[in-house]
Protein backbone atom coordinates (compact mmCIF):
# COMPACT_ATOMS: atom_id res chain seq x y z
CA UNK A 1 0.00 0.00 0.00
CA UNK A 2 1.64 3.26 -1.10
CA UNK A 3 1.82 6.00 1.52
CA UNK A 4 2.00 9.65 0.53
CA UNK A 5 2.97 12.67 2.57
CA UNK A 6 0.59 15.59 2.25
CA UNK A 7 1.61 18.87 3.86
CA UNK A 8 -0.85 21.50 5.09
CA UNK A 9 0.72 24.89 5.75
CA UNK A 10 -1.41 27.21 7.90
CA UNK A 11 -0.41 30.89 8.11
CA UNK A 12 -2.16 33.94 9.56
CA UNK A 13 -3.83 36.05 6.85
CA UNK A 14 -1.53 38.94 5.78
CA UNK A 15 -3.82 41.56 7.32
CA UNK A 16 -3.78 39.84 10.73
CA UNK A 17 -1.18 41.02 13.24
CA UNK A 18 1.43 38.30 13.92
CA UNK A 19 2.90 39.03 17.39
CA UNK A 20 5.03 35.85 17.38
CA UNK A 21 6.55 36.70 14.02
CA UNK A 22 7.15 40.29 15.10
CA UNK A 23 8.85 39.16 18.32
CA UNK A 24 11.25 37.04 16.24
CA UNK A 25 11.84 39.87 13.79
CA UNK A 26 12.56 42.47 16.52
CA UNK A 27 15.13 40.16 18.13
CA UNK A 28 17.12 39.53 14.93
CA UNK A 29 19.21 42.75 14.83
CA UNK A 30 20.19 42.22 18.48
CA UNK A 31 21.41 38.74 17.48
CA UNK A 32 23.38 40.17 14.59
CA UNK A 33 21.01 39.31 11.73
CA UNK A 34 20.32 42.23 9.38
CA UNK A 35 18.31 42.43 6.15
CA UNK A 36 15.24 40.44 7.20
CA UNK A 37 12.30 42.74 6.52
CA UNK A 38 9.53 40.57 7.95
CA UNK A 39 8.97 37.28 9.79
CA UNK A 40 5.68 35.38 9.85
CA UNK A 41 5.17 32.26 11.97
CA UNK A 42 2.56 29.57 11.25
CA UNK A 43 1.90 25.84 11.52
CA UNK A 44 2.98 22.96 9.31
CA UNK A 45 1.07 19.65 9.37
CA UNK A 46 2.55 16.54 7.75
CA UNK A 47 -0.11 13.91 7.04
CA UNK A 48 0.88 10.34 6.06
CA UNK A 49 -1.97 9.28 3.78
CA UNK A 50 -2.59 5.59 2.98
CA UNK A 51 -3.24 4.79 -0.64
CA UNK A 52 -2.99 7.00 -3.75
CA UNK A 53 -3.60 10.74 -3.26
CA UNK A 54 -6.14 11.21 -6.04
CA UNK A 55 -8.50 14.17 -6.56
CA UNK A 56 -11.03 12.75 -4.08
CA UNK A 57 -8.42 12.24 -1.35
CA UNK A 58 -7.07 15.76 -1.89
CA UNK A 59 -10.58 17.20 -1.68
CA UNK A 60 -11.10 15.38 1.63
CA UNK A 61 -7.82 16.72 3.02
CA UNK A 62 -8.72 20.21 1.83
CA UNK A 63 -12.02 19.89 3.72
CA UNK A 64 -10.19 18.52 6.79
CA UNK A 65 -7.77 21.47 6.72
CA UNK A 66 -10.60 23.97 6.31
CA UNK A 67 -12.70 22.63 9.17
CA UNK A 68 -10.11 21.31 11.56
CA UNK A 69 -6.50 22.43 11.01
CA UNK A 70 -7.03 26.09 10.15
CA UNK A 71 -9.25 28.81 11.60
CA UNK A 72 -10.27 30.27 8.25
CA UNK A 73 -11.50 33.49 9.87
CA UNK A 74 -7.89 34.52 10.53
CA UNK A 75 -5.80 31.93 8.73
CA UNK A 76 -5.08 30.84 5.15
CA UNK A 77 -3.90 27.31 4.33
CA UNK A 78 -2.19 25.53 1.45
CA UNK A 79 -2.35 21.77 0.76
CA UNK A 80 0.66 20.21 -1.02
CA UNK A 81 1.47 16.59 -1.93
CA UNK A 82 5.14 16.19 -1.05
CA UNK A 83 6.09 12.64 -1.89
CA UNK A 84 4.73 9.18 -2.51
CA UNK A 85 6.62 6.32 -0.83
CA UNK A 86 5.67 2.71 -1.64
CA UNK A 87 5.39 0.95 1.75
CA UNK A 88 8.61 -0.87 2.60
CA UNK A 89 10.85 1.44 0.51
CA UNK A 90 13.37 3.37 2.68
CA UNK A 91 12.62 7.09 2.85
CA UNK B 1 15.66 46.13 -4.07
CA UNK B 2 14.52 42.54 -4.71
CA UNK B 3 12.85 40.79 -1.78
CA UNK B 4 12.86 37.01 -1.50
CA UNK B 5 10.77 34.76 0.67
CA UNK B 6 12.74 32.12 2.51
CA UNK B 7 10.80 29.46 4.41
CA UNK B 8 12.13 27.60 7.45
CA UNK B 9 10.15 24.49 8.32
CA UNK B 10 10.77 23.19 11.85
CA UNK B 11 9.49 19.70 12.73
CA UNK B 12 10.04 17.45 15.74
CA UNK B 13 12.61 14.72 15.04
CA UNK B 14 10.90 11.45 14.01
CA UNK B 15 11.94 9.70 17.22
CA UNK B 16 10.42 12.43 19.41
CA UNK B 17 6.82 11.90 20.58
CA UNK B 18 4.46 14.46 18.98
CA UNK B 19 1.44 14.77 21.33
CA UNK B 20 -0.15 17.57 19.26
CA UNK B 21 0.07 15.55 16.08
CA UNK B 22 -1.28 12.47 17.85
CA UNK B 23 -4.21 14.43 19.26
CA UNK B 24 -5.13 15.53 15.74
CA UNK B 25 -4.72 12.00 14.38
CA UNK B 26 -6.88 10.40 17.10
CA UNK B 27 -9.68 12.89 16.41
CA UNK B 28 -9.83 12.26 12.66
CA UNK B 29 -11.88 9.01 12.61
CA UNK B 30 -14.43 10.61 14.93
CA UNK B 31 -14.72 13.45 12.40
CA UNK B 32 -15.17 10.99 9.57
CA UNK B 33 -11.66 11.08 8.09
CA UNK B 34 -10.18 7.63 7.46
CA UNK B 35 -6.87 6.57 5.88
CA UNK B 36 -4.55 9.05 7.56
CA UNK B 37 -1.86 6.93 9.17
CA UNK B 38 0.08 9.67 10.96
CA UNK B 39 -0.04 13.41 11.66
CA UNK B 40 2.97 15.52 12.68
CA UNK B 41 2.63 19.17 13.62
CA UNK B 42 5.49 21.71 13.42
CA UNK B 43 6.26 25.36 12.77
CA UNK B 44 6.63 27.27 9.52
CA UNK B 45 8.54 30.57 9.40
CA UNK B 46 8.31 32.85 6.37
CA UNK B 47 11.20 35.33 6.20
CA UNK B 48 11.09 38.27 3.77
CA UNK B 49 14.78 38.77 2.95
CA UNK B 50 16.04 42.04 1.43
CA UNK B 51 18.44 41.68 -1.49
CA UNK B 52 19.51 38.56 -3.40
CA UNK B 53 19.47 35.27 -1.52
CA UNK B 54 22.99 34.14 -2.40
CA UNK B 55 25.05 31.40 -0.73
CA UNK B 56 26.17 33.76 2.05
CA UNK B 57 22.61 34.89 2.85
CA UNK B 58 21.39 31.27 2.91
CA UNK B 59 24.24 30.31 5.24
CA UNK B 60 23.25 33.14 7.58
CA UNK B 61 19.60 32.04 7.57
CA UNK B 62 20.67 28.44 8.17
CA UNK B 63 22.66 29.65 11.20
CA UNK B 64 19.70 31.77 12.36
CA UNK B 65 17.38 28.76 12.10
CA UNK B 66 19.82 26.51 13.93
CA UNK B 67 20.42 28.86 16.84
CA UNK B 68 17.12 30.68 17.12
CA UNK B 69 14.15 29.15 15.29
CA UNK B 70 14.70 25.44 16.03
CA UNK B 71 15.69 23.55 19.15
CA UNK B 72 18.06 21.19 17.39
CA UNK B 73 18.10 18.78 20.35
CA UNK B 74 14.54 17.70 19.50
CA UNK B 75 13.80 19.39 16.18
CA UNK B 76 14.99 19.19 12.57
CA UNK B 77 14.67 22.15 10.20
CA UNK B 78 14.70 22.74 6.45
CA UNK B 79 15.49 26.08 4.73
CA UNK B 80 13.85 26.71 1.32
CA UNK B 81 13.89 29.74 -0.98
CA UNK B 82 10.31 30.08 -2.15
CA UNK B 83 10.19 33.06 -4.45
CA UNK B 84 11.99 36.22 -5.43
CA UNK B 85 9.79 39.29 -5.93
CA UNK B 86 11.34 42.48 -7.29
CA UNK B 87 10.04 45.27 -4.99
CA UNK B 88 6.93 46.92 -6.47
CA UNK B 89 5.84 43.86 -8.52
CA UNK B 90 2.45 42.49 -7.42
CA UNK B 91 2.71 39.04 -5.77
Mean pLDDT per 10-residue section of chain B, whose length is 91 residues: 89 95 93 92 96 90 95 97 61 43
Cα of B20 to nearest chain A Cα, Å: 10
Given an 8 Å threshold on Cβ–Cβ distance, is A33 in contact with B9?
Answer: no
**ipTM, 2 decimals?**
0.87
Given an 8 Å threshold on Cβ–Cβ distance, is A48 in contact with B57?
Answer: no
| B41 or A2, greater pLDDT | B41
Integer Cα distance of B61 and B68 in angstroms: 10
Q: What is the pLDDT of residue A91?
A: 43
Across the range A4-33, mean pLDDT stands at 94
Single out the residue of B9, B19, B18 nearest to residue B70, CA to CA.
B9
Given an 8 Å threshold on Cβ–Cβ distance, is A44 in contact with B49?
Answer: no
B2-16+42-86 belongs to which CATH class?
A: alpha beta
The CATH number of A2-86, from 1.10.3720.10, 3.60.21.10, 3.30.1280.10, 3.30.365.10, is: 3.30.1280.10
Check if A11 contacts B (Cβ < 8 Å): yes
**3-class secondary structure, B27:** helix
Chain B residues within an 8 Å CB radius of A18: none
Given an 8 Å threshold on Cβ–Cβ distance, is B40 in contact with A24?
Answer: no
CA distances from B16 to A29, B73, B74 (A): 32, 10, 7
Q: What is the pLDDT of residue B85?
A: 59
Q: What is the pLDDT of residue B51?
A: 84
Amino acid sequence: MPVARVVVDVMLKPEILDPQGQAVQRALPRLGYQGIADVRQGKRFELEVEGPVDEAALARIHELAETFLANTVIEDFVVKVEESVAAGESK
